[in-house]
Structure 1
Amino acid sequence: MRRTTPLLPAVAAVLLLTACGAQRAGPHDGGAGAGGEAPRTAVPEPAVDGVRITSVALPSASPSATGAGTTGGVRAEPLPTGLPAGSGVSADYEVVNSAAEALTYTVLFDFTSGAGGAVSNQKVTVGPVGPGRTVRATVRMESLPPGAPSVKGVKVAEVTSVPAAEAPSAAGVCPPSGIRVTADDGDAAMGLRVVGLILENCGDRDHTVKGYPRLTLLDEDHRPVDGVRILHGGGDIALVPGFDDPPRAVTLAPGERASSGLMWRNTTGSGTAVGVPYVRVRATPDAAPVMITPHLDLGTTGKLGVGAWRRAPEQRGTRGAGTP
């Protein structure tokens, strides 16, 4: 499982499915030649963490399956650039859950050039997928800007999966608690990493938070990671304005947000480098957990800083900073 830095902005699509046996995502269905698409070509490639591309459609080309070593990909003759939306470049795929619990998957698909680099990508969320179930769907390439390299293949670039009960709520969906917790894409500079946590009051009453998010660090199998100190603030890692502010009670009206953050360095010295793909977050001690996927590359530092909840910066003038 690897973290991918998109070459072009990812376009997020969400497929919320009730996994009952092998089923297909209705809005993204597409069979061979459907809607004037190019004929689909089968792809005999192995699955990547339970996700496998089964066929592709590459118009104006004669696709053929790749040889061994190009996971989830296909090759074809060059395609024209600047393709409009709905141009017919697509891939059928399936998600197979072999775990003992329902999972929600996030899959990054790369539309690749002849050299194998990502020309464009599409991030898709599929779930919940019940244990032992299979979900099938189609991912389609969006338009490309003029001058982009020709697209010659499609591959599974990254897969993450979290327990369905702990999956972050999709945009526009408010969980029963009335609080939605998400993480941003993070920022990196000179080995310093920062990922923001956002707590949004999406309910119909005020919510008050104070203190620090409760964190549990997890490996690829969702098992706890030992040997990492979780620090309140970031003074032992780096001095970032606001990150060491003391905890204050923050009351959020419906629609308002609070923010926190994770800070670490990826310095590698003696010992074994530690990677943490998943973090279980509890916004307050009694809150339901939410599992996020920040892919912490902690190196050999053994430290992770977490900031206290504070009113999101763009809202500081609306309700004040809270009561100490």
Structure 2
Amino acid sequence: MRRSAPLRPAPGRTAPFLSALAATALLLTACGTEHGGANTGAAGAAESPSRTRVDDPGKDGVRVTWLTLPSPSPSPTRGYSVSADSLPEDSGIVAAYEATNKGRETLTYTAVITFMSADGGAMAHQTVTVRDVGPGRTVRSTVRAGVLPPTMPRVTGAKVLEVTKVPSREAPAAPGACPASGIRVSADRGDAAMGLRVVGLHLDNCGTRDYSVDGYPVLELLDDDLRHIDGVKILDGGGGIAPGGVDDKPAGPVTLKPGQSALATLVWRNTTQFGTAVNVPYVRVRAKAGAAPVIVTPNLDLGTTGELGVTAWRAAED
């Protein structure tokens, strides 16, 4: 989704003319912005970043509020100058955002924030997670755009592209954290090819005792409001959907020692024929019957197939 366009090099000027040009540019772009302290480069051009309020309506309680941009570089080969507080390879672009919980239970939000050029093209996407936002609370933070090629169009805006939110008690554990159960359940980003979709479920024993499973994860499909979805058949194994296309070993006991992991696979086809297509944004996963539930967000686009396959847990290869 990235768009690439060559930057227009600044015409050659002497140092006084460069300084005047930079000052004029700052005056022309000052409307609606706040500026930090000014620094001067070797050519006398101002290098202070600008902080611009963002008019982002947001999604599901998450919105971008401010965008901090470095000043344009006088170099004809770079779109941004590098300030002292940014890494040499970093663009220096920062978006401030906030998550507001208007519900009645503590929520964990995951949002994709898009950095855009003046024509609305997406220059970068960053995913952020805001954990444990209590009812009536607003949590604020920032995210950096990261590395951007110098030939890309200049970033001028940012917005929230998509949001998922789950009750914090059922949210996947933070990276490096271990739940009280000693078992961590998560989903990966998956893969898609020729209408076939595959998402991996991961079961990690981060505790201090052995943990055993025997068979298939227990799944419940949920809609945008975390309500149960009917009408989708969950098949044991993926062979009926993708014969030979997934690691579909027979179900059997798997014992995980501390530090060991197991894998299972969700598999489906995005085929749309007659009827209403079904999309499943959330899946409640239990490693086995009676285990603590974890809600993952694989965004299953099941089309009109009405089927989802899940393989049995198998020990992860080292």
Gaps of 5+ in 2: 4-33, 40-47, 73-77, 83-87
Structure 2 contact 118–155 (Cα < 8 Å) conserved: yes
Q: 1:196 aligns with which of 187, 194, 200?
A: 200
- State the match for 1:33 in structure 2: 36
Q: 1:130 aligns with which of 129, 134, 138?
A: 134
- State the match for 1:295 in structure 2: 299
Structure 2 contact 266–309 (Cα < 8 Å) conserved: yes
- State the match for 2:310 in structure 1: 306
Give the letter for the 1:89 counterpart. I
Structure 1 contact 265–301 (Cα < 8 Å) conserved: yes
Q: 1:43 aligns with which of 54, 73, 88?
A: 54
Q: Within 5 Å, which residues of 2 pair with 1:157-176?
A: 157-176=161-180
Superposition RMSD on alpha carbons, in Å?
Answer: 2.5
Greater relative contact order, per chain length (Cα 8 Å cut-off, separation 6+): 1
TM superposition shift of 1:82: 9.3
Q: Within 5 Å, which residues of 2 pair with 1:1-324?
A: 33=36, 38-60=49-71, 80=79, 84=88, 87-241=91-245, 243-312=247-316, 314-315=317-318
Give the letter for the 2:54 counterpart. V
Q: Distance in 2 between matches of 1:279 and 1:294?
A: 7
TM superposition shift of 1:115: 3.7
Structure 2 contact 50–71 (Cα < 8 Å) conserved: no
Q: Distance in 1 between matches of 2:205 and 2:37?
A: 42
* SS of residue paired to 1:165: helix
Q: Distance in 2 between matches of 1:113 and 1:32?
A: 20
Structure 1 contact 200–256 (Cα < 8 Å) conserved: yes
Structure 1 contact 230–304 (Cα < 8 Å) conserved: yes
Structure 1 contact 82–144 (Cα < 8 Å) conserved: no
Gaps of 5+ in 1: 8-30, 62-78, 316-324
Q: Distance in 1 between matches of 2:2 and 2:262?
A: 28
Give the letter for the 1:155 counterpart. K
Give the letter for the 1:80 counterpart. G
Q: TM-score, normalised by structure 2?
A: 0.79
1:221-250, CA deviations, whole angstroms, 9 ceiling, x for partnerless residues? 111111100000122211135543211111
Structure 1 contact 51–159 (Cα < 8 Å) conserved: yes
Q: TM-score, normalised by structure 1?
A: 0.77
- Of the structure 1 ranges 249-258 and 144-153, higher mean CA displacement relative to structure 2 is found in 144-153
1:107-159, CA deviations, whole angstroms, 9 ceiling, x for partnerless residues? 11112233423222221110100112111112222122454443232121111
Q: Distance in 1 between matches of 2:37 and 2:296?
A: 36
Structure 2 contact 58–159 (Cα < 8 Å) conserved: no
1:242–1:143 CA distance, 2 compared to 1 (3 A): closer
